[in-house]
């Protein structure tokens, strides 16, 4: 296949539910007090799970060497909660239809600020992981979103004009623009769509029907 579509996870493929967010902070709470920590992901210096843990540990004077224990605690807790259905990963409306529509026509992948194992666990429960598993990168090792996307693109030997990235955050807009790929700013939220447009996203989708149409325009042979 001579084209690829790369997706962000939360807000594009999956809903990010409050209970899922709290799983992350519950893992940190085993080591530090999290009562005053912001739940606004954009308030952290680098918006990904790996760097947020480093930032929080440093803020509380904890050693970076503690991070693997925090990550292990988080992933084991998330796996248990998903297995017992205490939390349920929920797909964005139209996601499964979109992925079925694209499968076999384009290489599909994932670039997410979640740890890749956390993304796998959640996407697997929603039945979406097999679609994006062949080209997937997460926050592991840290870095801004444009750096994560760049690392993934190194493993996909295609011209940038044959790659589409779909994201729902300002950092996703930056990632798409800096990496020179086609960018779709996606959100079900009108205010968020306005933010994406203001950040430089020229192509905006309010549904995955619109996402599919834009992908078709960009990657038409």
**Integer angstrom CA distances of residue 1 from 102, 106, 125, 162, 200:** 11, 6, 27, 10, 29
Q: What is the pLDDT of residues 103-154, one digit of tens each?
A: 999 999 999 999 999 999 999 999 999 999 999 999 998 899 999 999 999 9
**Cβ(217)–Cβ(194) below 8 Å:** no
CATH annotation of 4-15+90-219: 3.40.50.1000
- Closest to 206 measured CA to CA, from 220, 191, 216, 218: 191
Alpha-carbon distance of 9 to 16, in angstroms, equals: 9
**Residues 186 and 166: beta-carbon distance below 8 Å:** yes
pTM over 0.95: no
pLDDT tens per residue across span 48-78: 899 988 988 888 888 888 889 989 999 999 9
């Amino acid at each position: 296949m001579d084209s690829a579509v790369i997706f962000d996870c939360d807000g594009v493929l999956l809903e990010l539910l409050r209970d899922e967010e709290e799983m992350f902070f519950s893992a940190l709470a085993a080591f530090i007090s999290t009562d005053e920590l912001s739940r606004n992901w954009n308030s952290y210096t680098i918006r990904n799970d790996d760097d947020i843990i480093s930032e929080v540990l440093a803020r509380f004077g904890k050693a970076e060497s503690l991070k693997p224990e925090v990550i292990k605690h988080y992933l084991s807790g998330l796996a248990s909660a998903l297995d017992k259905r205490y939390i349920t990963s929920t797909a964005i409306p139209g996601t499964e239809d979109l992925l079925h529509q694209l499968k076999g026509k384009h290489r599909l992948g994932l670039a997410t600020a979640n740890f890749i194992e956390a993304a796998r666990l959640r996407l697997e429960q929603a039945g979406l992981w097999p679609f994006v598993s062949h080209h997937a990168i997460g926050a592991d090792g840290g870095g801004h979103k444009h750096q994560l996307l760049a690392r993934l693109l190194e493993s996909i030997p295609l011209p940038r004009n044959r790659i589409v990235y779909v994201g729902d955050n300002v950092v996703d807009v930056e990632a798409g623009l800096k990496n020179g790929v086609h960018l779709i700013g996606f959100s079900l939220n009108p205010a968020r769509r306005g933010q994406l447009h203001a950040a430089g996203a020229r192509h905006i989708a309010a549904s995955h029907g619109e996402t599919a149409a834009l992908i078709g325009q960009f990657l038409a042979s």
